[in-house]
Amino acid sequence: MMSFKQNMVKLFFLGIFTGLLLTAFMVGCGGGNNPGGPAVTATPSSVSTVDNSLNAGTSSLFGTVVTSNNTPIANVVVKLLVQDISTGALTDTNRSSVSLTSGEFIFNGLGTGTFVLKIEATNDFLESSKLAKIENAGSIDSGNFVILSKTPDATIPTINFKAQAVDALSGKPLSVAQISIDTGQTTISNAFGVFELFNVASGTRKLIVSQPGVASYSVFFEVRATTPPTANGIYINNQLFGINSGVNTVDLTITVPPSPVKINPNVHKSGVLAGTAKKFILVNQQPTSNEEAYPNYEFDIWTVDAAKNARKSHTVISKADGTWRLDNMPPFEDNGLIWLAVPVKTQVQVLQGQTGNSLVFNNSSAEWAGRDPVLAFGYKIAAGETTIMDFTVPPFVYANPTPTVTSPTNSKFTDLAGATITQSTLTDDIQFTWTGPEGANQIYLEFSRVYKAPSVPVITKTLKYGINEGTTATTVHTRTLKAADYGLDYGRFTWVTKVVDPAIDYTAISDSTLLTIVPSKAEISPSEGSTVLKNSVATYTVSFIAPLDSEAKYAIMELEYFDTLTGTFKQLGTLSAQTLTNNAVFSMEFSPGSPATGAYRWRSRYFYDDGPSLSSEYANITFSN
């Protein structure tokens, strides 16, 4: 799908966040974990009272069953349940609808009420459920109903996650709440607020808890993993919960003490964010002043909060008539969010300047190169109302002529033996290889820092090649350089290859890949092969020194000894850096004559506000009398 961008000046919004409060989520231990307690709903004052009767009505409820990549799927049985208005319990209506080839399903003749659409687990797919509410007669589109494969991708670590959604103030469970996750999976909490998600992929995940008529609430957590296919555990609220149920499940309801997902109650009704994607009508590939709907257009919705954080919220695809809609959205009164629409593959950052705050937009798609990728900005969602966000997509997104260059392919960093690498030091000789492109005699590498300050500029390295190397799409090229030659230092970098077709303002871009640069064993002291002389009669101190990573918040050193009995290294001790200025300095004190003479190794480990830690290479050293 193309992404897009329109020209605009930098947006400054001095003081836009003044006086706004950011609602934070809390995840903790304690009250509210009472499976035998009463089932309640969130904030009764904000939930409309409707008739749950299934007597003959005139409303229709429809949607589309799709796979995780939005492919419609046929012959899936969708069951219909209804919530009893007095008890909150779910009742099976004994009605079901089988999806068509288009993935569509429909229930006709319904009255008002809160309904649950449910797909039972099969041999191929996981169970999935979602909420839908009918307040007035008419046709209600429940949107895409995503079902996920029961067999996870064996190359991606996953975990099963069971928890209880609890009102943070009352401590009571949130029954019949919709629980969805950014991977597309949805489910419904039971009468005790308990829910379960399956095959949750590793990485930072976004959990959304919502009920009809009440603004949704987001909780972020991290699935920790090392080796596929099973993840290690879930890191939430600065605490790691390991697998404790079966072979691949973290069950927060049985931890000691139980750790429910606490949701701050919403004071206001939810709002709706909706609009129409439009485009200019083309005549002979030239835009006119007239507009038409842009169907099946994919774009991203982002938010900027009161704490000056930008986050991606939704990926949206417009319907056949160009319209799009997001229900159950948190209103401005609850969290002070500012909403904006951008092309896919856009990253949004907030930078602080001397005269105020500015938004910076970066898009990796070719058609947006050199343009500001903003479709709409500055919208606030009103409680209980529909906020309209219309935008018109610029013509270059859909009217570009065919480029004369091809994208570079098979781009990778390797060692000198040709093995692909994702980590290097500044001083290692490494090779960069790529295939093609056709129609150009140079490409350039573009590096972006992953966990460092967003104000640090993108690093670019141009790679030129002559006619003797060939310019076909199948020609393989190789360059041998050091990471320092690319202008890199320590840290994690994503990189892409680009080739420009200046005739049509087009840039072909490869997929993004990760490269990590760490201090080498020659850059730390004692370095590789060093011997440390022990003091046999007095306490003495050894200084371990590692290069400074300016973005690290703190660093530790890890000292290990070689156990001859097991043939492995074991940890002797760790120490936090006593200084973290020009270098990370660790001063470790030893008693007279210790440690035992033998082989040791040590490294420095750096920690950051965001992202995992980084470690230097190990330096093998010896202690000797």
Residue with tokens 């390295």: 461
- How high is the pLDDT of residue 279? 94
Could you say which of 84, 116, 146 is where a domain stops?
Answer: 146
Question: Which DSSP string do the residues of 514-546 spell out, in sequence order?
Answer: EEEE---TTTSBS-TT-EEEPPSSS-EEEEEEE
* pLDDT score at 464: 82
Q: Are residues 166 and 35 part of one domain?
A: yes
Q: Are residues 142 and 159 in the same domain?
A: no
In a domain, 367, yes or no: yes
Q: What mean pLDDT do residues 227-252 have?
A: 84
Q: Are residues 161 and 30 part of one domain?
A: yes
Ranked by mean pLDDT, the top range of 25-39, 187-201, 445-459 is: 187-201
Q: What pTM value is reported for the model?
A: 0.46
CA 169, 171, 176 angle in degrees (round to 5)? 105
377 and 280 within one domain: yes
Residue 585 has pLDDT above 90, yes or no: yes
- Whether 463 and 384 map to the same domain: the answer is no
Cβ neighbour number for residue 341 with a 10 Å cutoff: 24
Q: Which two tokens stand for residue 307?
A: 């704490």
Rounded average pLDDT over 177-188: 88
* Residues 477 and 544 placed together within one structural domain of the fold: no
Average pLDDT over residues 3-8: 28
* pLDDT > 60? residue 430: yes
Give the pLDDT score at 22: 23
Range of the domain at 456: 409-517
CA distance 259 to 242: 13
Compute the distance between CA of residue 320 and CA of residue 325 in angstroms, rounded to an integer.
Answer: 13
Give me the mean pLDDT over the 442-454 stretch. Answer: 78
Helix (H, G, I), strand (E, B) or coil at 232: coil
Query: Residue 453 pLDDT more than 60?
Result: no
Q: Mean pLDDT lowest for which of 97-106, 125-134, 205-214, 520-529?
A: 205-214
Same domain, yes or no, for 367 and 277?
Answer: yes
Q: What is the structure's pLDDT at 129?
A: 92
Q: Which amino acid is at 74?
A: A
Confidence (pLDDT) at 152? 78
Q: If residue 570 lies in a helix (H) or strand (E), which one and from where to where?
A: strand 568-576
**The domain boundary residue, chosen from 354, 369, 393:** 393
Tell me the pairing of strands 619-624 and 598-607.
antiparallel
Q: Is residue 5 part of a domain?
A: no
Judge if 417 and 512 occupy the same domain. Answer: yes
The mean per-residue pLDDT over the stretch 548-565 comes to 89
Give CA–CA dist 346/340, Å, rounded: 12
* Same-domain check for residues 135 and 159: no
CB contact set of 368 (below 8 Å; sequence gap of 6+): 3, 4, 5, 343, 345, 346
The answer on 445 and 310 residing in a single domain is no
Position 337 pLDDT exceeds 60 = yes
Does 3 fall in a domain? Answer: no
Establish if 522 belongs to a structural domain.
Answer: no
Residues 156 and 33 in one domain: yes
Does residue 611 register a pLDDT over 80? no
Q: By C-alpha distance, which of 320, 269, 324, 270 is closest to 301?
A: 324
Calculate mean pLDDT across residues 294-312.
89
CA–CA gap between residue 273 and residue 504 (Å, rounded): 36
Instruction: Judge whether 107 lies within some domain.
Output: yes
pLDDT at 598: 87
Lowest mean pLDDT among 241-250, 419-428, 469-478: 469-478
- Which carries the bigger pLDDT value, residue 218 or residue 3? 218
Residue 29, pLDDT > 60, answer no
Location of structure tokens 């500012």:
338
pLDDT at 216: 77
pLDDT digits (tens, 9 = 90+) for 464-507: 876 555 567 888 889 998 998 888 888 888 888 988 877 666 77
pLDDT tens-digit map of 86-101: 777 888 888 988 888 7
Which of 454, 485, 517 marks a domain boundary? Answer: 517
Q: What average pLDDT score do residues 246-268 get?
A: 81
Contact 578, 586 (CB under 8 A): yes
Q: Three-state DSSP class for 483?
A: helix
Mean predicted lDDT score pLDDT of the chain: 81
Residue 243, domain CATH: 2.60.40.10
Q: How many domains does the chain have?
A: 5
- Is 562 inside any structural domain? yes
Q: What is the CATH number of the domain that holds 318?
A: 2.60.40
Q: Does the pLDDT value for residue 32 go beyond 70? A: no
User: Are residue 142 and residue 98 in the same domain, yes or no?
Assistant: yes
| pLDDT number for residue 454 | 56
The whole-number pLDDT of residue 83 equals 86
Confidence of residue 601 (pLDDT cuts 50, 70, 90): very high
585 versus 219: the higher-pLDDT residue is: 585
Mean pLDDT of 315-330: 88
Looking at the domain assignment, is residue 523 inside a domain?
no
* Radius of gyration of the chain measured on its C-alpha atoms: 28
Q: Does any domain span residue 364?
A: yes
